[in-house]
Structure 1
Amino acid sequence: MTVVEDLINRNRSGEPVGLPCFCTANEHVLRAILAYAKTTGLPTVIEATCNQVNQEGGYTGMTAADFMAWLRGMAEEAGVPMDQLILGGDHLGPNPWRSEPVDVAMQKARELVKSYVQAGFRKIHLDASMACGGEPNPSFAQIAERAADLCAVAEAHAPNPADLIYIIGTEVPIPGGETEEPAALDVTSVDRLYDTIETHRAAFEARGLQEAWGRIVSVVTQPGVDFGHTSIYPFVPEKAKPLSDAILSQPGLTFEAHSTDYQPTSALASLVRSHFFFLKVGPELTFRFREAVVALAQIESQLQIAEPSRMTQVLTERMSDEPRHWKDYYSGSEADVARLQMFSYSDRIRYYWTDPAVAAALSKLTANLGAHPLPQTLVSQAFMGLEFGEIPTTPGALIEGHILRCVARYFEAAGLPASTG
Structure 2
Amino acid sequence: MDYLLNLVRRHKAGEQVGIHAVCSAHPLVIEAAMEVASARDLPVLIEATSNQVNQDGGYTGMTPAAFRDFVHGIADRTGLARGRILLGGDHLGPNAWQDQPAEAAMAKAEVLIDQYVTAGFRKIHLDCSMSCAGDPVPLPDAVVAERAARLCAVAERAWHTAGGEAPVYVVGTEVPVPGGAHEDLEELSVTTPGAAALTIKVHRLAFAAAGLEAAWPRVIGLVVQPGVEFDHHKVIDYRPKHAVALSRLIEDEPTLLYEAHSTDYQTPSNLAALVAGHFAILKVGPGLTFALRETLWALADIEEEMAWPGDQQGSDFKNIVLEVMRAEPEYWRKYYGGDPRRTRFDQQYSLSDRIRYYWPHPAIQAAQARLLANLEREAPPLTLLSQYLPAQYEAVREGRLRNVPADLLKEGVAKVLRQYMDACAAGAATKELETC
Bin for the TM-score computed over the shorter chain: over 0.9
Q: 2:408 aligns with which of 379, 398, 409?
A: 398
How much has 1:375 moved relative to structure 2?
1.2
Residue equivalent to 1:70: 70
Equivalent residue, structure 2, for 1:414: 424
Q: Distance in 2 between matches of 1:314 and 1:216?
A: 46
Contact 1:38 1:78 in 2 (8 A): no
1:70-109 equivalent positions in 2, closer than 5 A: 70-109=70-109
Alpha-carbon distance in 2 for matches of 1:228, 1:99:
26
Shift of 1:392: 3.6
Conserved? CA contact 1:99–1:134, under 8 Å? no
**Separation in 2, partners of 1:175, 1:107:** 23
Cα offset, 1:7, TM superposition: 1.9
- Residue aligning to 2:242: 239
Among candidates 238, 241, 254, match of residue 251 of structure 1:
254
Distance of 1:261 and 1:151 partners within structure 2: 28
Amino acid at match of 1:56: D
Contact 1:14–1:273 under 8 Å retained in 2: no
Structure 2 runs not aligned, ≥5 long: 429-436
Deviation, 1:312, is 0.2
Range 302-311 or range 224-233, more displaced: 302-311
Which deviates the most, 215-224 or 329-338?
329-338
Q: Secondary structure at the match of 1:210?
A: coil
Partner of residue 319, structure 2: 313
* 1:172-209 Cα deviation digits (max 9, x unpaired): 22334322223431111111111101111111111100
Q: TM-score, normalised by structure 1?
A: 0.96
Please give the secondary structure, in 2, of the residue aligned with 1:88.
Answer: strand
> C-alpha displacement at 1:133, in angstroms?
1.2
Map Cα deviations across residues 89-110 of structure 1 (whole Å, 9 max, x no partner). 0000001110111111111111
Q: Is the CA contact (8 Å cut-off) linking 2:176 and 2:225 kept in structure 1?
A: no
Deviation at 1:352, TM superposition (A): 0.3
Q: Return the offset for 1:16.
A: 1.5
1:178 to 162, 166, 181: 181
Structure 1 gap ranges (5+): none
Give 1:55's aligned residue.
55
The corresponding residue for 2:39 is 39
CA deviation after TM superposition for structure 1 residue 232, in Å: 0.2
Residue 6 of structure 1 corresponds to which residue in structure 2? 6
Deviations 1:26-70 (A, max 9, x none): 011111111112222112111001111001111100000000011
Look up the SS of the partner of 2:226 in the other structure: coil
- Residue in structure 1 matching 2:361, options 351, 355, 360: 355
Matching residue's letter, 1:281: V
SS of residue paired to 1:172: coil
Q: Deviations over 1:380-413 (max 9, x none)?
A: 1110233234464210110011110111110001
User: Are 1:340 and 2:341 counterparts?
Assistant: no
**C-alpha RMSD of matched pairs (Å):** 1.6
TM-score under structure 2 length normalisation: 0.93
> Of 249, 264, 267, which aligns to 1:261?
264
Counterpart-to-counterpart distance in 2, 1:104 and 1:268: 39
Distance in 2 of aligned mates of 1:167 and 1:80:
26
Percent identical pairs in the alignment equals: 44
Deviations 1:241-270 (A, max 9, x none): 000000011121110000000000000000
8 Å CA contact 2:179–2:286 kept in 1: the answer is no
The equivalences for 1:83-162 within 5 A come to 83-137=83-137, 138-158=139-159, 159-160=162-163
2:206 corresponds to: 203
Q: Helix, strand or coil: the match of 2:215? A: helix
Count how many residue pairs are aligned between Structure 1 and Structure 2: 418
